[in-house]
Amino acid sequence: MAFVLKAFASGADGVIICCCLPGECHYVPQGNYNAFSMVSLTKKLLEHIGIDPERLRLNPVSAAEGVLFAKVVTNFTSSMRELGPVGKSEGIEQDELKSKLQEITRLIPYIKIVEREKLILHLDDVEKYSELYTSEEIEKLFSEVVSYYIDPEKCQACMTCAKRCPVDAIISAKKQVHVIDQEKCIKCGTCLEACPPKFGAVTKLSFGELVPPPLSEDQRTVVRKSKEKKAA
């Protein structure tokens, strides 16, 4: 998905993916089925931000079908010429288009988590993949984006969540309450899983819940629970 979105963000007017025929891949048997589901989802995401989903196409073509491959690519190229430049033809300014594509790209891990059950489906009738995702489902996906917050009262500055975060979105230092950079956060939930249960400092916030503002740096010093007990 990230490669497809990057292509459009870089100015490609269309993206075509060719895969093995269903049931005939000798290398990764489930790969083309995964592609059918992923492309179906990506087309819906493109439609959600105003891009014609026909700009993304998946065609099964055998390695032995050179003539068919040439025909498929020629037809796709012709279709893209008719559609015109991406964004401009849809009435979307380039800066706005890039911004929307970047936002979806940032949320890919979250999207894959939410849609994981459908993304691994292997359907005998590949035509059914186009029916897997509805516009209403995609609308709900974006309207219910979750957030994560580190409770300064519970954080013990163990740095476990910061080490596990795949995008370095957690501001951390020894003996300082950790803070999630909401602009960098990709909503993957790794921090929630990584936080030791004895602390339980990471909270999952539902759509509509405001993330409390972070403490200022001079207020982030952590007093270890063990030290609090000794002082008592």
Number of domains in the chain: 2
* DSSP 8-state code for residue 27: S
How confident is the model at residue 54, as a pLDDT? 96
Same domain? For 88 and 175 the reply is no
The pTM for the full model equals 0.79
User: Roughly how many angstroms between the first and final C-alpha of the chain, as a whole number?
Assistant: 54
3-class DSSP assignment, residue 11: coil
Residues 113 and 38 in one domain: yes
62 and 130, same structural domain? yes
The full DSSP string for 68-113 is: HHHHHHHHHHHHHHHH-STTTTTT--HHHHHHHHHHHHHTHHHHHH
**pLDDT tens, per residue, the chain with 232 residues:** 999 999 999 999 999 999 988 888 888 888 889 999 999 999 999 999 999 999 999 999 988 899 999 999 999 999 999 999 999 999 999 999 999 999 999 889 889 989 999 999 989 898 999 999 999 999 999 888 899 999 999 999 999 999 999 999 999 988 999 999 998 998 989 999 999 999 999 999 988 789 999 888 889 998 665 544 444 4
The CATH number linked to 203 is 3.30.70.20
28 and 97, same domain (yes or no) = yes
- Least Cα distance to 155 among 206, 184, 207, 191 occurs for 191
Q: Of 143, 165, 189, which closes a domain?
A: 143
pLDDT at 170: 96
Does one domain contain both 10 and 112?
yes
**What is the per-residue pLDDT for 225?**
56
**168 DSSP 8-state letter:** -
Residue 179 lies in domain:
147-231
131 and 168 inside one domain: no
